[in-house]
């Protein structure tokens, strides 16, 4: 019973920082990490989007800080989590409503094979090796790259393959 009374309820429930300060910090960190991930992590992300990874990492960080006894208060953690989720939602909403903004934010697809010919400059740009690309072709049941009309590195890091017509 003494354990309940020894809890510092004020430190846990009363924010030490202003809500605006927390919102601005959360906003700046979200946008900085968002831009850095867009520049660096194109093909490493895989099946989930970069913004999904960002939200997961940031939510884990800010909610973890709010749960630690010597860190932020619960309301501070809630404001930071809310800020991260707000920006994630707003960016997705703006991309949906305004295609021009989506083109600005999303990486365009990058052609890796054109009519069976490897586009090595594009492969080098994204650090895609011939072995990696050929493995992707084999996963699609293609043994020879001459069977490929086009292959693209998509914005989500996946490689899409278009076969040549067999006619």
Per the DSSP assignment, residues forming a β-bridge with 152 are 111, 160
Q: Are 148 and 93 within one domain?
A: no
Q: Is residue 122 domain-shared with residue 153, that is, in the same domain?
A: yes
Q: Say whether both 100 and 116 belong to one domain.
A: no
Examine the domain organization and report whether 19 and 70 are in the same domain. Answer: yes
Q: Are residues 58 and 83 in the same domain?
A: yes
DSSP result, 48-77: S-HHHHHHHHHHHHHHHHHHSTTS--HHHH
pLDDT at residue 154, as a whole number: 86
Tokens at 22, concatenated: 């927390």
Cβ count within 10 A of residue 159? 21
Same domain, 77 and 116: no
Q: Supply the range of the domain harboring residue 131.
A: 110-163
Q: How far apart are CA 14 and CA 11, in angstroms?
A: 6
Same domain, 118 and 156: yes
pLDDT recorded at residue 43:
47
What is the full DSSP assignment across the chain? -HHHHTS-HHHHHS-SS-HHHHHHHHHHHHHHHHHHHHHH-SSSSTTS-HHHHHHHHHHHHHHHHHHSTTS--HHHHHHHHHHHHHHHHHHHHHHHH-HHHHHHHSPPPEEEEETTEE-HHHHHHTT--HHHHHHHHHHTT---GGGEEEEEE-TTS-EEEEEPP--
CA distance 111 to 139: 18
Domain count, the chain: 2
pLDDT tens digits, the chain, 167 residues: what are they? 677 778 888 877 888 878 888 788 788 877 877 776 666 555 444 556 667 777 778 777 765 665 444 456 667 777 877 888 888 888 889 988 998 888 787 778 899 999 999 999 999 988 889 999 999 999 999 999 999 999 999 877 788 999 998 75
- Give the pLDDT of residue 142: 93
The answer on 129 and 81 residing in a single domain is no
């Amino acid at each position: 019973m003494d354990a309940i009374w020894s809890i510092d309820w004020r430190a846990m429930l009363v924010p030490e920082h202003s809500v605006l300060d927390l919102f601005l910090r959360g906003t700046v960190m979200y946008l900085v990490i968002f831009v850095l991930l867009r520049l660096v992590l194109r093909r490493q992300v895989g099946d989930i989007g970069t913004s999904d990874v960002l939200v997961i990492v940031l939510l884990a960080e800010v909610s973890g800080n709010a749960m630690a006894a010597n860190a932020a208060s619960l309301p501070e953690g809630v404001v930071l989590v809310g800020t991260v989720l707000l920006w994630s939602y707003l960016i997705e909403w703006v991309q949906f409503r305004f295609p021009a903004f989506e083109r600005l934010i999303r990486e365009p697809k990058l052609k890796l094979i054109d009519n069976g010919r490897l586009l090595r400059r594009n492969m080098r740009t994204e650090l895609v090796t011939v072995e990696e690309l050929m493995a992707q072709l084999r996963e699609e049941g293609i043994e020879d790259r001459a069977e490929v009309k086009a292959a693209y590195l998509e914005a989500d890091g996946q490689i899409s393959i278009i076969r040549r017509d067999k006619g």
